[in-house]
Structures are given as C-alpha cells and as structure tokens.
C-alpha cells in the first residue's frame, strides 16, 4: 500500500490547493507542506510549481503522479480481491449508445450463464469514463468515441455501422441519395461533446461539409427524443445502427440509402496500461465478446 505522504500528494494533485487539501485530509496545512517536502527530497526535485495563482505539476511531479495513481488503483483492487465474498461484482463504464442499446442484452446473457456475477455499469460520456478509469472507480470502459490509444490498453469489441435515418413518410425513405442532397433538411443530432456527434462531424469534414451546412440544427441530448422527432418527419439524423435498429425493424424509422457512404466505427474495451490484474480484465472482456 502507498504511504500517507503519497496519499497527500495524490490529493494535492486533484485539489490543487494546500489549504483545501489539508481540510479534505483533516490535517494541518504545514503537515501537507511537510509531506510534499519529504517527497521532493526523496525524489530529488520539485514536484509542484506556481503559474500565477495556479498550482501545477512539474515534469517530475507528473511522472510521480502517473506511477502513484497506478499503484493506488492496484492496491485498491488487491484489497477488494482479498475481502470480497463468493459473489463477484464487475464495475465498468459504457458510452450512451453502447450502454443503452447493446449492453443490456450482453449482460443478461452473461448473468444467465454466471448467476454469481453482478454488474455496476456507469453510462457516461467518454471523458468522464476515462476519468473514472484513471481513478480506479471502474475496471474498464466500453467506448464509442475517440480516445488517445497511446495512453491506454484497448481491445476491439465490434465495428458498428453508422447510418442516416429518416421518417418512413420522408421522400428519402424510398430513394438513394448523397449526403449533399440532404442538406436542405433540418439536422437533428446529439449535443457537442458526444461521441456520436464527433464521429458524424469527422465524416462530414471529409466530405467538405459540417452540421452548419444543413437547413437548421436541432441539438438534443437524448437519442430516444431524436428518434421520435425523426419518426415525426421533423428532420433527419445520423446514429449507430444499434441505436436505431429496433425502430427500423418496427417500421417507425427508415435507413437512408446513401451513396458513397460506408461508415462504421470501432467500439473498444479500454483499460489502464500495466495493471496487475490485466489477465482478469481480459477474461471478462472475452466473456463480453462471446455473448455479444
């Protein structure tokens, strides 16, 4: 286990204030300063510097943070393994499309095969899930959006088609067209920052278009609300096939037959590098993939 001075260091990295760190840890501010000074002497240099009033990590401090955070997560995992009961709980995260439209089926199949396994699933955007991963709140995340592949270990879950959708009453429900022909329509899409939005904007960029090329934009944070509005012929949208598949099968939505459009995107399992329980995570990932 990491010692109390490294715990103080991690807290100061997150809180970025000696005074507030002291309050959080229920110790005095001089004690916080002494802990950091001890570590600076131990590791041979400054760990923090001030830029104006902002407390920043030095290069040495950033390296210590990366190593200490990893050790802290591993220590927590060891403790959980030693004290857990017969039943196993798997905590993981998933982005919106995956969490709402793919994971329920996968989890239900796994639970029928392994009734002693329990799940805690957090459905959040990519940036929040990566933060939870770094903090050790989840063992892995299943992500549809972009992430820095040099910073994490990852494994492909599946390639998911990304499609255009319209109302069955739309003129585009029965004819082929190009993306350029759709720009006269209102575009209904997720808010900025969502993984689905980022994928779509990248595809448009490659075609010298943007969401602003369309005849009006309606931004909504709910995929279900987007699908309902599209079914009412209020506009067109783009999303993963997994999110719209049920409504397409029921005849409530129609896929748009787009020319020169063969877009799919990776859904990936993502976990931190060099963790001591990597074999366990890979076993769980294999279980998810087998029941996909």
pLDDT, tens digit, for every residue of 41-54? 988 999 999 988 89
Please give the pLDDT value at position 85.
44
Please give the pLDDT value at position 102.
94
**What is d(CA 223, CA 134) in angstroms, rounded to the nearest whole number?**
28
Please give the pLDDT value at position 74.
67
**What is d(CA 202, CA 214) in angstroms, rounded to the nearest whole number?**
15
The topology (CATH level 3) of 4-81 is Arc Repressor Mutant, subunit A (1.10.10)
Percent of the residues in the chain that have a pLDDT greater than 70, as a whole number: 93
pLDDT interval class at 76 (50, 70, 90) = low
Contacts for 63 with CB less than 8 Å, ≥ 6 apart:
none
| 198-247 confidence digits (pLDDT tens) | 889 999 999 999 999 999 999 998 899 999 999 999 999 999 999 999 99
Written out in words, the top-level CATH class of the domain with range 83-158+267-290 is alpha beta
Q: Which H, E and C letters describe 15-47, residue by residue?
A: HCCHHHHHHHHCCCHHHHHHHHHHHHHHHCCCC
pLDDT interval class at 69 (50, 70, 90) = confident
The topology (CATH level 3) of 160-265 is D-Maltodextrin-Binding Protein; domain 2 (3.40.190)
CATH topology of 83-158+267-290 equal to that of 160-265? yes
Please give the pLDDT value at position 83.
43
Q: Which residue has the tokens 């190593």?
A: 67
DSSP secondary structure letter of residue 102: T
**What is d(CA 167, CA 253) in angstroms, rounded to the nearest whole number?**
5
**What is d(CA 19, CA 33) in angstroms, rounded to the nearest whole number?**
10
* Domain boundaries along the sequence of the chain: 4-81, 83-158+267-290, 160-265
**What is d(CA 106, CA 104) in angstroms, rounded to the nearest whole number?**
6
**What is d(CA 16, CA 12) in angstroms, rounded to the nearest whole number?**
5
* 51 to 19, 57, 82, 85, 152: CA distances (angstroms): 17, 10, 43, 48, 29
Does residue 6 surpass a pLDDT of 80? yes
Please give the pLDDT value at position 193.
74
Q: Could you give phi then psi for residue 244, rounded to 5 degrees?
A: -110, -5
The residue with greater pLDDT, 199 or 92, is 92
pLDDT interval class at 86 (50, 70, 90) = very low
How much is the average pLDDT of 53-79? 81
Does residue 191 surpass a pLDDT of 60? yes
**Element holding 88 (H helix, E strand):** strand 88-94
Please give the pLDDT value at position 80.
57
How much is the average pLDDT of 81-90? 57
**Mean of the per-residue pLDDT values of the chain:** 88
How much is the average pLDDT of 93-99? 93
**Element holding 91 (H helix, E strand):** strand 88-94
Please give the pLDDT value at position 245.
94
Q: Could you give phi then psi for residue 125, rounded to 5 degrees?
A: -80, 170
Identify the weakest region by mean pLDDT among 26-30, 74-78, 142-146: 74-78
Nearest CA to 12 out of 59, 64, 84 is that of: 64
Question: Do β-strands 88-94 and 254-255 pair in parallel, antiparallel, or remain unpaired?
Answer: unpaired
Nearest CA to 235 out of 214, 250, 208, 206 is that of: 214
């Amino acid at each position: 286990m990491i010692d109390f001075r490294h715990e103080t260091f991690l807290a100061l990295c997150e809180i970025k204030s000696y005074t507030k760190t002291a309050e959080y840890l229920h110790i005095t501010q001089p004690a916080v300063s002494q802990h950091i000074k001890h570590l600076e002497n131990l590791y041979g240099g400054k760990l923090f510097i001030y830029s104006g009033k902002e407390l920043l990590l030095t290069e040495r401090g950033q390296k210590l943070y990366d190593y200490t955070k990893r050790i802290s997560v591993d220590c927590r995992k060891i403790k959980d393994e030693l004290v857990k009961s017969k039943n196993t709980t798997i905590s993981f995260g998933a982005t919106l499309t995956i969490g709402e439209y793919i994971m329920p089926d996968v989890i239900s199949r796994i639970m029928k095969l392994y009734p002693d396994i329990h799940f805690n699933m957090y459905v959040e955007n990519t940036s929040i899930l990566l933060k939870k991963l770094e903090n050790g709140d989840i063992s892995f995340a299943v992500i549809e959006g972009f992430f820095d592949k040099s910073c994490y270990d990852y494994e492909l879950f599946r390639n998911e088609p990304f499609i255009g959708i319209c109302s069955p009453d739309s003129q585009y429900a029965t004819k082929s067209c190009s993306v350029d022909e759709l720009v006269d329509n209102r575009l209904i899409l997720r808010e900025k920052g969502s993984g689905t939005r980022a994928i779509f904007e990248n595809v448009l960029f490659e075609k010298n278009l943007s969401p602003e090329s369309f005849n009006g934009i309606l931004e909504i944070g709910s995929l279900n609300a987007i699908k309902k509005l599209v079914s009412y012929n209020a506009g067109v949208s783009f999303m993963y096939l997994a999110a719209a598949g049920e409504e397409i099968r029921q005849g409530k939505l129609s896929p748009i037959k787009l020319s020169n459009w063969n877009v799919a995107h990776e859904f990936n399992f993502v976990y931190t590098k060099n963790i001591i329980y990597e074999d366990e995570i890979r076993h769980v990932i294999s279980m998810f993939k087998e029941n996909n």
